[in-house]
Structure 1
C-alpha cells in the first residue's frame, strides 16, 4: 500500500514539476489561438478550460486506463512503475506536444503535424495509418457496447427486438453520425463533462473501497518485484504494450487536435493535455491496484485476476465495482462499460473526418461537405462491424504504441528546429521505439521470433532510429515558428 501511495504522490507531483518543465520548454504565449482566429462554429469553437479538460480526459480515456491497467496487473505491482513514470516522462509529454503542435498549426490533425516536421512521406503514411486506426477504434467501440446492452437485456429475460445486437449497433452508429456531423459543442461539449466526472467518481469509489475494506491489501513493489503473470508472459516489452492508456497511447495524439481547436489560450495546454494524461494515469494506477489486491495469488502468480479477466472486460469491471462499492458500484460499472466506449468511438470517427478533411482540403463549415466525409466513414464502420476483425484487432496495441513513437519523434524534430531541449522528447521516443520494435519482433501475431532475438533487435533498432534522428538534425537549420 505504501508503494501505491508513493506512486500516486509522484503522479500528482509530476503534473506540477515535470509538467511545468515541459510547458516552459514549449513556451506557450499570448498569440491568437485557432479557436479564436478561425471559429467556424463547427470544429473551431471556444470552450471553457474545465470543459476542455473533462472532454479531453474522456476522449483519451474511455475504458482504456481501466481494462489495460487490470491486464497490466497480471504482472503484479511492477506495473505501478510503468504507469507512474510512463505517464510523467512519456505519456504527458506525448499528449502535451501532440495538442500544442496542432494548436500552433491551426488545429491540424496529427498526420499533418507529423508531415510538417518529418516530411511528406511520413505525412502520407500517417494519414492512412490514422484513418484506418480511427475507423477501427470507432467500430469496435460500437460493436462492444451493443453486445453489452444485449447481454443486460437477456439477463433481465428481455427478448425480441430489444435483445437484437443488430438494432443496437445501428442505434450507436446513428449516434456516431450525429456526433461526428454537428458542432463539437452541441453534444460532445455538453454531455462529455458529465461522463468524465462519472469516470473519475468510479475510480475514486474503487480506491476508497480498497482502503476501507480490510480484506483488500495492495501489495508492495519491493516485496513483489518479479513477473507474476500466470502465463509467464515477459514484462519487456509486452507489459509496456498492454498498458497503453494510463501510461502512453498514440490514440491520444489523434484526439488532442479536437481540443486544440477549442482553446482560448495556449497557456491552457498544461492543464488540458498534460493534466488530463496525469488524471488518466491516476485512474489507471487505482485500477491496477484493484487488480493486484482483490484477487487470489497462487504460487506468486496472479491466478485469480487471470480467471476473472477470462470472462471479459465488462465482467472484470463489474466484479471490481461490486466488491468495492456494492450497489452504487454496479450502476457506475454499467455506465462505464457501456458509455465510456461509446464516447471514445464517436470522437474516433470525428477525428477521422477531420483527418480526411485536412488531407483533401475539404471545407467543413458546409453541411454538404461534412456529409461527403461522414457518410462513407460511418458506412465503413457499419461494414466492418459485421466482419470478423478479431485477428486484425490484435495488431491494435502495437500500432497504437508505434503511433506514439512517431509523434514523439515529431516533437523532437520540432524542438530541434526551435533550438530547444529536444532530449525532452527524444529520450521517450527512443524508449518507445525499443518497446514497439521489441514487441514487433517478439509477438506471435507479428514476427514471432522469441525474446532471444527480440530483445537485442529492439534495442538495436531503437539506437538506429536515434541515429537517424541525430543525422537528420545535422542537415537542418532552425525553422521559423508558425505566425502568431
Structure 2
C-alpha cells in the first residue's frame, strides 16, 4: 500500500506540473502578443525554469523568486477587488434561487460531485498535502505552521472568490461567462487577460497578470521538486550531487512534457480527481493518527467521509471516468463513505475498550 501511494503521488505531481505549464504559457503568450515563438516559446521557458528549480537547492531560485511573485499575487487580488467595487460592477447574489447547476451541460456535469473536484484546491487538496513536508523543512519553529499553512490556504480561497466574482460580473453574469467559455477564444487565459487589462490598464494589468501566473508556476515547480524528493526517498538516493538529482528528474520531466502534448482539458480533469483522491487518503490517515493518539478525530473524519463520497461519485459519473448514471454514482459514493465511517467507528470503540490495540490493525 505504501508503494502504491508513493506511485500515486508521483503521478499526481507530474500531472500537476504538466497542467501548470500550459496555463501560464497561454497567459504569457497573450501578454506578449505571441511575439517570438508564441505559446511554444513560453512552454520551453517555463519548462527550463522548472528543471532548474527542481535540481538546484531551494534557496537558489525558489527562495529568491517567491517573494516577488507573492507581491504580484497580492497586488493582483487587491487591485482587481478594488476596481470591481470602484466601477460598481454587479456581483451576482448568492441566493437559494441561483444555487443550481448553471453549467451549459448540467446533465453531463452534475453539480455534485463536479463542484467539489473542480474548485477544491483552496479548501481540500492532495497536492497541498504533499507539499507540507517540503514547506516544513523551511520552517524554523513549529509555531509558524499555523500562519504558513492556514494563511496560505485562506489566501488562496480569497483570491479564488475574487476571480469568481469578477469573472461573472465583468462578462454579464453566469450566462455571459458561459457563452464566452463555449466560444473558440474562451479560456481562462483569455478571461484573465481581458479583465486585468481593462480594469487596471496596460502596465498595472501586466503586474496583475504576473500575479495570476505566479500561482500555477509556484505550484508546478514545487510539484516536480516534490516528485524528485519522493523518488529519491524510496530509492534511497542521496541528493547531494547534481548528477543524482538529474538521474531522477529527467524521467519525470520527460513524462511531464509528454502530458503537455495531450488535450489540456482531459489532463486537468484527471489531475483534479487524482488530487482530491489523495486528499481523501490523507484525511483518513490523519483521522487514524488522531484516534491512535486519543485526540479529537471528528475534525478530519467528517471531511474524510464527505470526500470519499465525492471521489467515488466523480470517477463513476464523469465523462473521463465510467460515465454511469448519476443515481448509481451517488449511491456508490454514499455506500463507500458509510462503510468507511462504520469501519472507523468500530475501530474507535475497540481502541477505547483496549488502549493497547493499535488502530492500524
User: Which TM-score applies when normalising by structure 2?
Assistant: 0.88
Does residue 304 of structure 1 match 2:176? Answer: yes
CA distance in 1, matches of 2:77, 2:264: 31
2:148 pairs with one of 272, 279, 285: 272
Shift of 1:143: 3.7
Q: 1:321 to 1:446 in 2, by over 3 A?
A: same
Shift of 1:290: 1.8
Alignment-derived partner of residue 138 in structure 1: 17
Shift of 1:180: 0.7
Contact 2:122 / 2:160 at 8 angstroms: preserved in 1? yes
After TM superposition, the structure 1 stretch with the greater mean CA deviation from structure 2, 388-397 or 408-417, is 388-397
Contact 2:24 / 2:213 at 8 angstroms: preserved in 1? yes
1:258 pairs with one of 134, 139, 146: 134
CA distance in 1, matches of 2:72, 2:239: 32
SS at match of 2:275: helix
RMSD: 2.5
Q: 1:387 to 1:412 in 2, by over 3 A?
A: same
Q: 1:293 to 1:386 in 2, by over 3 A?
A: closer
Equivalent positions of 1:54-93 (< 5 A) are none
CA distance in 1, matches of 2:357, 2:127: 28
Q: 1:397 to 1:381 in 2, by over 3 A?
A: closer
CA distance in 2, matches of 1:466, 1:135: 32
Does residue 199 of structure 1 match 2:78? Answer: no
Does residue 359 of structure 1 match 2:234? Answer: yes
Alignment-derived partner of residue 39 in structure 1: none
After TM superposition, the structure 1 stretch with the greater mean CA deviation from structure 2, 393-402 or 467-476, is 467-476
Unmatched runs of 5 consecutive residues or more in structure 1: 1-120
**Cα deviations by residue, 1:114-158 (Å, 9 ceiling, x for unpaired):** xxxxxxx1x2121111111111211232244344444444x36x4
Does residue 408 of structure 1 match 2:287? Answer: no
Does residue 127 of structure 1 match 2:1? Answer: no
Equivalent positions of 1:82-121 (< 5 A) are 121=1
Q: 1:439 to 1:382 in 2, by over 3 A?
A: closer
Does residue 450 of structure 1 match 2:329? Answer: no
Contact 2:167 / 2:191 at 8 angstroms: preserved in 1? no
Does residue 461 of structure 1 match 2:340? Answer: no
CA distance in 2, matches of 1:465, 1:125: 20
After TM superposition, the structure 1 stretch with the greater mean CA deviation from structure 2, 281-290 or 389-398, is 389-398
Q: 1:339 to 1:420 in 2, by over 3 A?
A: closer
Shift of 1:324: 3.5
Contact 2:19 / 2:267 at 8 angstroms: preserved in 1? no
Does residue 225 of structure 1 match 2:99? Answer: yes
